Amino acid sequence: MAAGNFVSGHIKMAPSTKKHASGRACVVPGGFTEISLKFTSDSVATHKLYVKEHKVRAQTSHRPMDRTLFLLNVPPYCSEVVIKELFSQFGSVQWVDLRDHPGSSPESGPKLSRFFKPAEKQGFKVGYVVFQNAASVSAAKSHPHDTPLLVCTEQRTVKTGVQKWIEQYTQSFCAPDKLQQVVDSFMEDYDKRKAEEADRQKEEAKQQEEEEEGWVKVSRGPKGTKARPHSEAANKRTLAKESRNRKRKELMNFYTWQHKNMQKDQIADLRKKFEEDKQRIALLRAQRKFRPY
């Protein structure tokens, strides 16, 4: 693909008018360096990758600027594993991240299950190659443009076309036994948490009941320890607590009695109105002027 074409569907670069000597890196406008790719050694066509040092205003921990190489025009048949193996000749690669758009990060999207993943978008991508050392970035940018990197070799088989589609379709199904193990493990943890929560609620209810009744739970201490005498401050705190509980019970009883009296008054009023309505209806009937509507 020529440099004047659309690169990765996002950036269009002007064609370079300079002639580069053999064995040297080819630099195109925008500060990108051109790296050639060949699918196999006997392939006639070559694919162009455009790389530059990753530089942004806000540096992130997972993409350090001094050790990250930014890639454009990554072909669909190049996975993260293939890109890592291709650029390992320039230095030790820490990790590779291929994205649909520049600037997006793995943390920006929701965390999905490792069993159920959405279908990947097909097309050219952008990539971020993070090296262990900063010198590897310079080595990759200095790679001669007339020395293509081989994607598919005897040691590294890359599937394309129908074979790739069949492999992706087969991998889209999760193994039932592995999924069942994850589900069973999750349910065991869930049942354990629910049991612990129920025990904790029972213990809290029991403690609250003992406090309301004025009883204090006494547990046996370690062997050999002597019981400490109650201090005056502790006795005052206990008496104040009992007084608060007694007042709260009295207040609750008063509200209950008041509520019952209100209900009795309302029932009496309803009965009185019912009797008055009966008398009024009987009077209207006697006068033959009863009009229900």
The amino acid at 237: R
Residue 136, Cβ neighbours under 10 Å: how many? 22
| Sign, CA torsion 171/175/181/186 | positive
Give 55-65 pLDDT, tens digit per residue: 877 667 788 88
Q: At 216, list the tokens.
A: 């204090």
Closest CA to 281 of 267, 268, 269, 291: 291
Closest CA to 127 of 94, 99, 85: 99
How many Cα atoms sit within 13 Å of 228 on the Cβ side? Answer: 6
- Would you put residue 23 in left (φ > 0), alpha (ψ -120 to 50) or beta? left
The amino acid at 194: K
Q: How confident is the model at residue 92 (pLDDT cuts 50, 70, 90)?
A: very high
Closest CA to 16 of 24, 7, 30: 30
Report the DSSP beta bridge partners of residue 127. Answer: 71, 98
Average pLDDT, the chain: 77
Distance of CA 60 to the CA centre of its chain: 19
Pairing of strands 93-99, 26-28: unpaired
Residue 246, Cβ neighbours under 10 Å: how many? 12
If you average pLDDT over residues 150-179, what whole number do you get? Answer: 82
Backbone angles phi, psi at 102, to 5 degrees: -65, 145
Give the H or E element holding residue 80. Answer: helix 80-87
Which residues make Cβ contacts (< 8 Å) with residue 162, sequence separation at least 6? none
Residues above pLDDT 70, as percent of the chain: 72
Contact 74/124 with Cβ under 8 angstroms?
A: yes
pTM for the model stands at 0.50
Give 210-269 pLDDT, tens digit per residue: 665 555 555 555 555 555 555 667 777 778 888 777 777 776 666 676 777 788 888 888
Q: Is the pLDDT of residue 10 over 80?
A: no
The residue with tokens 């201490």 is: 221
Helix 232-286 to helix 176-212 angle, to the nearest 10 degrees?
A: 100
